[in-house]
Structure 1
């Protein structure tokens, strides 16, 4: 596990040093994985697009969040800036870093939307 974390730290340092302009973009994208974002998005989907889709996303996101928290406490994986202070951070979190809640949420949402929309191009994007 340490080798994987070391490689991840090296990649993060390299990206931060060579592409500093990505930091703002990544911080913006990270906001789209926050609970507050979905607290606004899901009701809009429910009221304006499709009630069943909104309800399903609520169940899926709740299940994903509970599962992610259980896995975080099982793996107890550190966040990159816990291991190396030179790795910058856009927001400080006190929870464990592995598995990534943002990655898990994105995967779940894109997979569900691909299933719901039943379009090949959505599967390719997901």
Structure 2
């Protein structure tokens, strides 16, 4: 059965009931969701896991954009016999509609949830992660926004990046801090050079900012102790409100050249990994230990 025929078979079952679930899974695979998920892990659970998740996900997003722009495969949108819905979720790329392969939703979700499953190592969480990734991936077929090969490739690449990132971050504590800092800045800088498009400047910029903020927090902010979940939720809500305010506000203030897009996202990155935790500490939404050390 051809990919066209597969999509025609799947999309014929679209209805209001199934569309509701497709909309939910589409959002869970969108950039906005990850701007909620990754800071939540970083601010409330673990800065180390949060930062490594940040890096794994954004490297995956960069690889996805690089392949999409290089391959330039058209999406099935507008193809006869295929009804595409929620098209706005696909129009975020700078090269839409020639950006089908691989699926960003499939790759992003498989990278993030595979990495978390490797960290958590609990059968129930792993099962949940697998089902969620499959649901997000299938939703891209149901909505008629990707070919089956796009989704399969996205799943494979995302899992491969997550596994590679997991084993790299297991050993990263053995690397001297200065070497880690240089490498962590050179990698995003290389992303700007390899992909001089909007996506490259966004992903490279936010990783540079996030890396600097992470190192600054380890060096200058006190080691934090556990605090109540009420304080954590208040801190998270405050942090997210400021994050989205910065994202939209700076877009209005900064001019159009892509270098300012990189600067905007770098500010977002350093806010998430350094200034937000510093603010939470100042407002006593986090507690601190007596000693300061580099974990």
Tell me how far apart the structure 1 counterparts of residues 36 and 122 of structure 2 sit (CA, whole Å): 26
In the alignment, structure 2 segments of 5+ residues that lack a partner are 131-295
Q: 1:28 to 1:121 in 2, by over 3 A?
A: closer
Q: Distance in 1 between matches of 2:33 and 2:126?
A: 23
TM-score when normalising by structure 1: 0.82
Secondary structure in 1 aligned to 2:21?
helix
After superposition, the C-alpha distances for 1:42-92 in whole angstroms (9 at most, x for unaligned) are 112111111111101110111011011112123323222232375131133
Which of 59, 64, 83 aligns to 1:63? It is: 59
8 A Cα contact 1:12 1:87, kept in partner: no
In 2, Cα distance between the equivalents of 1:123 and 1:34? 21
- State yes or no: 1:22 paired with 2:25: no
User: Please, which runs of 5 or more residues in structure 1 have no aligned partner?
Assistant: none
Whether the aligned pair in 2 keeps the contact of 1:42 and 1:54 (CA below 8 Å) is: yes
C-alpha root-mean-square deviation of aligned residues, in Å?
2.2
Q: Which residue of 1 aligns with 2:71?
A: 75
Counterpart of 2:112 (choices 105, 109, 113) is 109
How many positions carry a matched residue from both structures?
122
SS at 1:46 equivalent = helix
Q: Kindly indicate whether residue 46 of structure 2 is the aligned counterpart of residue 50 of structure 1.
A: yes
Please tell me whether the aligned partners of residues 9 and 87 of structure 1 are also in contact (alpha carbons under 8 angstroms).
Answer: no
Identify the residue that residue 13 of structure 1 maps to in structure 2.
11
Query: 1:113-124 counterparts in 2 under 5 A?
Result: 113-124=116-127
Question: For 1:57 and 1:38, how far apart are their aligned partners in 2?
Answer: 10
Q: Determine which structure has greater relative contact order: mean sequence separation of CA pairs < 8 Å that are 6+ residues apart, divided by chain length.
A: 1
CA distance in structure 1 between the partners assigned to 2:82 and 2:123 by the alignment: 42
| TM-score normalised by length of structure 2 | 0.38
Structure number with greater Rg is 2
CA contact (8 A) 2:8 2:81 kept: no
Deviation string 1:19-43 (CA, Å, 9 cap, x unpaired) is 4411121012101111121112211
